[in-house]
């Protein structure tokens, strides 16, 4: 079965995956690289993966929260995102002017001049990772209980990284579990999900490797941060070849933040010391694309062992 899929992939490689996804109607063009519509079939796979992740974590008693894909600008600033990833951030701007400003706006539209000059930043920014809106909410609740906290999140996220690789979208969904507590609790959580996530992807018959990784910190100072993150083993990614064998794609991430968010937000352990946090992130579109690339663009023809857990 895997053989057939591999051959089919080799035969059609002349056409880039993104174009094949458009032709099959699985993704829908919007005119912007990395911003796509999804077909019903694509969404059924995404939903199947989402449900499967829920089933795998069912007995852990995570508290589910769904935030909208925008978060508070002040929380975003306090989180430090602009220090580390200014190049990826997306801010929501709106027209906040008077009649005269509106007239000026209309003139710009008519003459084809830049109409955005009068747009003002709102109190909302686009969520860069599903867990970012959570930390201030958790901090508000006061000290953690002795066994810490566990959350289940899912959100559309925005990152300004336009690309022709279908796996690098500007708007995509991230499913996450987030653990807060003692270093031992959060490290154990990350290890459990590293094993569960790997087993889930292996059961899909996907070729994969789990590797140390780093976030794309901005600039020269960022290189040092990225290096530290790698050396300290704070981030691991589960990579699957999708666009190319040489540069496999991170489909799942396993992050140990140490006390970064605990300190930033004043989240305290039961004994009053700073809480540690960790999160596991599932890239729902990326997992879907890994499956489509591996098993073919028609999910009805996928092997039963893949369709069944996804209830396809």
Q: Is 33 one of the binding residues for ligand AMP (CB under 6 A)?
A: no
The count of residues interacting with ligand AMP (CB under 6 A) is 17
> 281: helix, coil or strand?
strand
185 binds, among ligand AMP, Zn ion, none (CB under 5 to 8 A by kind): none
Radius of gyration of the chain, Cα coordinates, nearest whole angstrom: 21
Among 48, 159, 180, 182, binds ligand AMP (CB under 6 A): 159
Q: Is 149 one of the binding residues for Zn ion (CB under 5 A)?
A: no
CA distances from 195 to 149, 199, 200, 210, 310 (A): 20, 6, 9, 10, 19
Q: Is 17 one of the binding residues for ligand AMP (CB under 6 A)?
A: no
Binding segment (CB under 6 A) for ligand AMP, from list 35-43, 44-52, 163-171, 294-302:
163-171
d(CA 204, CA 305): 7
222 binds, among ligand AMP, Zn ion, none (CB under 5 to 8 A by kind): none
- Contact criterion met (CB below 8 Å) for 171 and 35: yes
Interacting residues with ligand AMP between 245 and 304 (CB under 6 A): 250-253, 281, 283, 285-286
- Contact criterion met (CB below 8 Å) for 71 and 132: yes
Burial 193-219 (b: 16+ CB within 10 A, else e): bbebbbebbeebbbebebeebbbebbe
Q: Is 238 one of the binding residues for Zn ion (CB under 5 A)?
A: no
Length of the chain equals 312
Give the chain's end-to-end CA distance (angstroms, integer): 18
Smallest distance from Zn ion to CB 131, Å:
3
Nearer to ligand AMP, 269 or 282 (CB): 282
The count of residues interacting with Zn ion (CB under 5 A) is 3
CA atoms within 13 A on the CB side of 275: 29
CA distances from 284 to 48, 103, 210, 241, 263 (A): 10, 43, 17, 16, 30
> 107: helix, coil or strand?
helix
The beta strand positions in the chain, using DSSP E, are 27-32, 35-38, 63-65, 70-72, 91-95, 119-126, 149-158, 171-181, 209-212, 235-240, 249-258, 276-283
Nearer to Zn ion, 182 or 277 (CB): 277
Smallest distance from ligand AMP to CB 173, Å:
8
138 binds, among Zn ion, ligand AMP, none (CB under 5 to 8 A by kind): none
Smallest distance from ligand AMP to CB 266, Å:
23
For residues 248 to 287, the per-residue mask of contacts with Zn ion, x marking binding by CB under 5 A and - elsewhere, is -------------------------------x--------
Nearer to Zn ion, 182 or 253 (CB): 253
Q: Is 131 one of the binding residues for Zn ion (CB under 5 A)?
A: yes
Smallest distance from Zn ion to CB 264, Å:
13
Rule CB under 5 A: which residues touch Zn ion?
A: 129, 131, 279
Rule CB under 6 A: which residues touch ligand AMP?
A: 129, 159, 161, 167-169, 172, 174, 237, 250-253, 281, 283, 285-286
């Amino acid at each position: 079965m895997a053989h057939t899929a591999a051959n089919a992939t080799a035969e059609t490689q002349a056409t880039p995956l993104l174009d094949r996804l458009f032709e099959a109607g699985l993704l829908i063009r919007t005119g912007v690289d990395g911003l796509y519509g999804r077909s019903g079939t694509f969404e059924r796979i995404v939903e199947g993966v989402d449900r499967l992740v829920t089933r795998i974590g069912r007995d852990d008693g995570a508290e589910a929260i769904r935030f909208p894909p925008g978060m508070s600008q002040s929380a975003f600033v306090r989180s430090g995102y602009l220090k580390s990833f200014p190049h990826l951030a997306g801010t929501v701007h709106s027209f906040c002017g008077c009649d005269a400003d509106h007239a000026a706006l209309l003139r710009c539209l008519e003459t084809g001049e830049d109409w955005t000059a009068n747009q003002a930043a709102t109190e909302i920014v686009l969520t860069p990772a599903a867990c970012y809106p959570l930390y201030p909410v958790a901090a508000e609740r006061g000290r953690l209980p002795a066994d810490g906290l566990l959350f289940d999140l899912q959100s559309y996220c925005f990152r300004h990284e336009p690309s022709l690789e279908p796996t690098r979208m500007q708007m995509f969904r991230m499913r996450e579990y987030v653990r807060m507590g003692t270093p031992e609790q959060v490290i154990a959580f990350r290890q459990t999900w590293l094993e569960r996530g790997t087993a889930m992807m292996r059961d899909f018959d996907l070729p994969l490797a789990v590797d140390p990784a780093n976030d794309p910190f901005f600039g020269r100072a960022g290189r040092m941060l990225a290096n530290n993150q790698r050396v300290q083993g704070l981030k691991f990614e589960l990579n699957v070849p999708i666009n190319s064998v040489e540069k496999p794609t991170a489909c799942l991430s396993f992050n140990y933040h140490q006390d970064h968010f605990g300190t930033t937000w004043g989240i305290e352990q039961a004994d009053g010391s700073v809480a540690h946090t960790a999160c596991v992130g599932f890239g729902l579109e990326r997992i879907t694309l890994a499956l489509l690339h591996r098993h073919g663009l028609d999910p009805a023809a996928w092997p039963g062992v893949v369709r069944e857990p996804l209830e396809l």
